[in-house]
C-alpha cells in the first residue's frame, strides 16, 4: 500500500459564482447545483489523495443552513478525514460571500464517501491518512464511528 498522506496534501478549494441559471425563481441557489459543486470538489480531493479515479459512494449529513443568491461567491472546501481500505471519507463545507457587504456564512456541509476504482471499475486500495492537527486527529477518530453507522444500513 502507498505511504500515508496528510489531509493537507489533497485539500481542495473550489470557487463558483451564483449565476441566474443556478437559481430558482426566487433568485436563490438551487440545492442540486450546490450538491453538484460539492461532489465535484470532493471528487478532486479524493482523486488527488488516491492518485486514481474515484467515484461517489455516499453522501450523508447534508445540511442546507442558509440560502445563497445571484452574485454571491461560493467557496467549497473538501478535505479527507480518513482513508479506509478502498474508500475515503471527505468533509465538505460550502460558504457564501455577498460581494458588496462581504458578509460570509456557512451554507452547507456534508460527509462524502468516495471509492477508488481501476479501469475495470473494481475498487482498489487507497493510501492511508496521517492526521497532523488536533482537529484532523479528532475528525480521523470520529470517521470510524460515522463509517460504522453507515455500514449498519448494509447489514
Is the whole-model pTM more than 0.85?
Answer: yes
% pLDDT > 70, the chain: 97
The pLDDT assigned to 151 comes to 78
Q: Does a structural domain hold residue 1?
A: no
Question: Based on the structure, what is the number of domains in the chain?
Answer: 1
pLDDT tens-digit series, residues 30-82: 999 999 999 999 999 999 999 999 999 999 878 899 999 999 999 999 999 99
Residue 69 covered by a domain: yes
On whether the CB atoms of residues 126 and 49 are closer than 8 A, the answer is yes
3-state secondary structure 88-109: EEEEEEEEEECCCCCCEEEEEE
Contact 83, 49 (CB under 8 A): yes
What CATH code is carried by the domain that includes residue 125? 3.10.129.10
Cβ atoms of residues 84 and 132 within 8 Å? no
Q: What range does the domain containing 58 cover?
A: 7-152
**The pLDDT of residue 61:** 77
Is 22 inside any structural domain? yes
Amino acid at each position: 500500500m502507498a505511504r500515508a498522506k496528510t489531509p493537507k496534501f489533497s485539500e481542495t478549494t473550489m470557487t463558483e459564482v451564483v449565476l441566474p441559471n443556478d437559481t430558482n425563481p426566487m433568485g436563490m441557489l438551487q440545492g442540486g447545483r450546490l450538491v453538484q459543486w460539492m461532489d465535484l470538489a470532493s471528487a478532486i480531493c479524493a482523486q488527488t489523495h488516491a492518485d486514481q479515479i474515484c467515484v461517489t459512494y455516499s453522501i450523508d449529513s447534508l445540511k442546507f443552513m442558509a440560502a445563497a443568491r445571484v452574485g454571491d461567491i461560493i467557496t467549497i472546501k473538501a478535505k479527507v478525514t480518513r482513508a479506509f481500505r478502498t474508500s475515503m471519507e471527505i468533509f465538505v463545507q460550502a460558504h457564501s460571500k455577498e460581494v458588496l457587504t462581504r458578509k460570509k456564512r456557512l451554507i452547507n456541509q456534508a460527509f462524502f464517501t468516495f471509492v477508488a476504482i481501476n479501469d475495470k471499475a473494481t475498487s482498489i486500495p487507497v493510501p492511508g491518512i496521517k492526521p497532523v492537527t488536533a482537529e484532523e486527529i479528532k475528525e480521523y477518530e470520529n470517521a470510524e464511528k460515522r463509517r460504522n453507522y453507515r455500514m449498519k444500513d448494509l447489514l
